[in-house]
Amino acid sequence: MEQTPKLAFVEQALAERAQQQQLRSLQPLHPIDAVRVTGYGQTLLNFTSNDYLGLSKHPQIIAAAQRYTAQYGTGATASRLVSGTYDIHLHLEEQLAAATGREAALLLNSGFQANATLLPALLDRQSLVLCDRLVHNSLIHGIRSSGARFIRYAHNDLNHLESALQQAVQQGVHRMAIVTETVFSMDGDCSDVEALIQLANQYGAILYLDDAHAVGVLGQRGMGLAADRPEVDIVVGTCGKAFGSFGAFVTCSRSLRQYLINFCPGFIYTTALPPAVIGAIEAALLLIPSLDAERLHLAQLSQTLRPELQALGYSTAASRSHIVPLVLGSETRTLHLSDWLKQQGILATAIRPPTVAAGTSRLRFALSSSHTVEHLQYLIQTIASWTDC
């Protein structure tokens, strides 16, 4: 009998993507500084990076990573429960808890890994999850692998959320969780954390917030939109964005931290973060509370960009943060503008389905406090001079 080649699905999937003009590939870039890269044979002003405070190139942070590498080596050599917990891991966790005004903190190896593994540790097949329709893929991944039933409520629609909570209470669900983000990665809009706390309390639901785009940038001392809020059960922060390095952390109660150390596979069965990363996170954490001027500048950049884009007739959706989408709708126009900006020396990501809903293709500008007013003016002027043909 003729057998289909066992990897035929690979070629087929790639061909389908190519046919839909959605085949993606990796492009090498070389960083010059926090906002400029070389690539595509030129120097580009980068509006795609999540290095919101420019810390990935900060001399103090680089020095801290080098110092811990010299003192502790390049690897932590084992998982945390075996022999991969050094004094610097525990010390950093205490500092993270103190800085965020939360009871305890636990490091995880990335934001994706945190969401993918924390949710299954907290939920079971009998649980019900209510999550915002626009949450990040890693949260969906975690919810699905928990086996819990889940309902995606309309984006930021707390009436929809509340009616789902009411129904669940009537049905007698034994464990419920509300899962959402504080700043949404594709729209740059924010959740109403106070209202979510209220709903979670009222209906006895676990409140799980992904603060990936807010830590470092928003909230008290730049420590995120759930800082100083013990009512939020679980807050996930990443160190790959505003912290300028890598890794992630969860802040929670002491007993929940203890529970995760014992029951969370993605914490238990993986090598601890390396000393260089611990050094970088620690140095970033020392700097971040003092960066109010940078955060103000960053806020002013987005407060300039949004009305300028709107004056040119473009939608910036409900953005209220340093993430500013320019929603064009059509995939072709989005790709045109992205290509054209590249020709003018500007790097801006085109975001298309399936990452966002059909008909909402967009460019996503991620601003950094390392962008100058001149950088922003150049972006605005360049967009203004684009003729779509």
Ligand X SMILES: *Cc1c(COP(=O)(O)O)cnc(C)c1O
Return the bridge partners of 176, or none. 128
Residue of 138, 146, 187, 241 marked catalytic = 241
73: left (phi over 0), alpha (psi -120 to 50) or beta: left
As a 3-state breakdown, the chain gives helix, strand, coil percent values, each rounded to 5, of 45, 20, 40
80 belongs to the binding site for ligand X (CB under 6 A): no
Q: Judge whether 210 counts as a catalytic residue.
A: yes
How far, in Å, CA of 138 to CA of 116, rounded? 6
| Angle made by CA atoms 165, 167, 170, in degrees to the nearest 5 | 110
111 belongs to the binding site for ligand X (CB under 6 A): yes
Among 51, 181, 189, 331, binds ligand X (CB under 6 A): 181
Q: Judge whether 141 counts as a catalytic residue.
A: no
364 belongs to the binding site for ligand X (CB under 6 A): no
132 belongs to the binding site for ligand X (CB under 6 A): no
189 belongs to the binding site for ligand X (CB under 6 A): no
Q: Judge whether 213 counts as a catalytic residue.
A: yes
* CA neighbor of 111 nearest in space, from 266, 285, 265: 266
Q: Look at the block and give the residue holding tokens 């500013």.
A: 324
Among 80, 136, 322, 352, binds ligand X (CB under 6 A): 136
Closest contact distance (angstroms) between CB of 10 and ligand X is 25
Closest contact distance (angstroms) between CB of 183 and ligand X is 8
Is residue 49 within a helix (H) or strand (E), and if so which, with residue range? none
Q: Judge whether 136 counts as a catalytic residue.
A: yes
- Asked whether the beta carbons of 113 and 239 are under 8 A apart, the reply is no
180 belongs to the binding site for ligand X (CB under 6 A): no
Q: Token pair of 348, please?
A: 């801006």
298 belongs to the binding site for ligand X (CB under 6 A): no
Return the bridge partners of 39, or none. 42
Among 49, 127, 138, 382, binds ligand X (CB under 6 A): 138
Q: What is the x/- site pattern for ligand X, positions 2-41, by CB under 6 A?
A: ----------------------------------------
Q: Which of residues 192-221 bind ligand X (CB under 6 A)?
A: 210, 212-213
How far, in Å, CA of 12 to CA of 6, rounded? 12
Residue of 46, 50, 109, 191 marked catalytic = 50
Q: Which of residues 231-260 bind ligand X (CB under 6 A)?
A: 238, 240, 248
- Asked whether the beta carbons of 134 and 152 are under 8 A apart, the reply is no
Return the bridge partners of 152, or none. 131
The site for ligand X (CB under 6 A) is made up of 110-112, 115, 136, 138, 181, 185, 210, 212-213, 238, 240, 248
Which residues are tagged catalytic? 50, 136, 181, 185, 210, 213, 241
